[in-house]
Amino acid sequence: MSEASAPHAADRRELTAAQRNAVAELLRVSPVADELGRRFVRAGHELHLVGGSVRDALLGRLGDDLDFCTDAHPDETLRILKGWAESIWETGREFGTIGAQRGGLQLEITTFRAESYDQVSRNPVVVYGTSLDEDLKRRDFTINAMAVSLPEHRFTDPHGGLEDLSAKVIRTPSTPGESFGDDPLRMLRAARFAAQLRFAVHPDVHRAMTEMAADLDRITAERIRDEFTKLLCGADPIAGLRLLVDTGLAERFLPELTGLKLEIDEHAQHKDVYEHTLTVVENAVSYEEEGCDFILRMAALLHDAGKPATKAVGPDGRVSFHHHEVVGARLTKARMKAMRYPKDVTAKVTALVALHLRFYGYGRGEWTDSAVRRYVADAGDLLPRLHKLTRSDCTTRNRRKAAQLAADYDALEERIARIEAEEDLARVRPDLDGNAIMELLGVPPGPVVGRAWKHLKEQRLEHGPLDRDAAEVELLRWARAEGLIT
């Protein structure tokens, strides 16, 4: 490490711990990594563990996916790997990357880069570099611009990444303006790392993100979507979301989030929708049982997206947001489509947004068993997530009100469990299937069968299960009323 990037005295204890982490992690992967390094050296080339792999090793969280860089071009890398790797893939070859597997580790070996970027899409255009220093300088952040040379384990850190790792700060190797000018997506990536690592961005980085936010418009929706998904699934998504809003980046691709900052005046008091939303996301994270549930987190983020468009102030000064769940569902569907999320993911998030208010009113004792059945039927497979979203949405500071809402939802879940045990609510179906309907009415497949099926399902939701005889009587009654039989 250069003197300019030497750690401050106060950091030494932390850096020592980081170095111990790195040694332990590198020893774990050394049998494979060092062996590969020796093969490259024998072939007259360099090999370096680099980027996120070095960062994660220092943090004590190195996984089984290792990133390397080399001066060897892809054809030479393939020759070195042949006969040694258990499997090889070339899906990243156009970017100079060859993948391999060995000893339970996934390896990606990339030729040194000196990238330039397409001036329209800002997608990377690969230009091979000639040195490790050149490769590290082009990387996004200093914490990703460190390398360990193999097999000798020489540590290279020309931009003070180790010090920034200790300080938990996100900084760029070159000036932020140069770095973000090369690839504006790096601004969004800074927010993603803030969420994933719980790091703060350097003031110069924050300033550049704010000044250059509009440059994000030149990035494809797919690349933005992928970075945002990682951000929302970070350990601290709130930090990343605040950064997006504070710098103006959210306005470029998720304006619904910025729009939640509704003006609150002394004559029209209402809950701060933006802060409420961030709390709901935080609550939703706490309800996750294993890993990130992106669908739940995204629904929590957008559940009140319809409020700005539905805000109204009554004669008494009270603020209302009537039908904001309907408007919010429409906005959610449109936004996720624009961000190129898969249709099934979009449909699930949209449905949760549409349903998130359904529970309110249950505590007034107005729900019949029919209403409970419809709640379960409309939620379908999303019911466990709807439970979590509804509970997350309770952010009131009024302890009595919070306790009452929690008790009401406990009661609803207990009621669902009771009715479900009696009626198998998870599989609400009409009491007669299509074949039975066609046989009783003497009709072929077609719209009539569908209408009859829908009617019987409504009866099932309204009254619960019917036995075979009662279902047949109801079907014939409906058919006579529709003029289908006499």
Parts of the chain belonging to CATH 1.10.110.30:
171-253
User: Looking at residues 52-58, what average pLDDT do you find?
Assistant: 93
pLDDT of res. 340: 97
Q: Residue 40's CB: how many other CB atoms inside 10 A?
A: 23
Q: What is the mean pLDDT of residues 5-32?
A: 66
Distance, in Å, from the CA atom of 213 to the CA atom of 462, rounded to the nearest integer, reads 53
64-93 pLDDT, tens digit per residue, is 999 999 999 999 999 999 999 999 999 989
Q: What is the pLDDT of residue 353?
A: 97
Helices marked H in 233-368 = 237-247, 249-253, 255-258, 273-287, 294-302, 307-310, 324-338, 343-355
With residue 109 as reference, give the H or E element that holds it: strand 105-111
Q: Please, what is the angle between helix 434-441 and helix 468-481, to 10°?
A: 60
CATH class of the structural domain 171-253 = mainly alpha
> What CA–CA distances, in Å, run from 216 to 336, 360, 445?
17, 39, 53
Between CA 52 and CA 378 the distance in angstroms is 43
Structure tokens at 355: 């349903």
Q: Please report the pLDDT score of residue 238 as a whole number.
A: 98
Range 244-253 average pLDDT:
97
**Which DSSP letter does residue 358 get?**
T
Residue 151 preceded by cis peptide, ω within 30: yes
pLDDT at residue 305, as a whole number: 95
Mean pLDDT of the 45-73 span:
94
Which pLDDT value is given to residue 37? 97
Burial level of 472, CB count in 10 A (0-12/13-18/19+)? Answer: middle
Average pLDDT, integer, range 456-468: 72
For tokens 């299960």, what's the residue? 465
**Phi, psi at 170, each rounded to 5°:** -105, 115
Q: Can you give the pLDDT at residue 475?
A: 75
For the chain, residues classed under CATH 3.30.460.10 are 1-167
Distance CA 360, CA 409 (A): 9
Distances (CA, A) of 162 to 11, 199, 378, 399, 433: 10, 13, 52, 45, 66
Q: Which residue has the tokens 């029209």?
A: 268
What is the topology classification, in CATH, of domain 1-167?
Answer: Beta Polymerase; domain 2 (3.30.460)
Question: What are the Cα distances from residue 182, in Å, to 120, 231, 246?
Answer: 12, 21, 22
pLDDT in tens, 271-281: 689 999 999 99
pLDDT tier at 104, thresholds 50, 70, 90:
very high
Q: How confident is the model at residue 447 (pLDDT cuts 50, 70, 90)?
A: confident
Which helix (H) or strand (E) element contains residue 392?
helix 383-392
If you count them, how many residues does the chain have?
486
pLDDT digit string (tens) for 449-459? 788 777 777 77
User: Which pLDDT score, from 0 to 100, does residue 399 have?
Assistant: 84
In this prediction, residue 278 carries a pLDDT of: 96
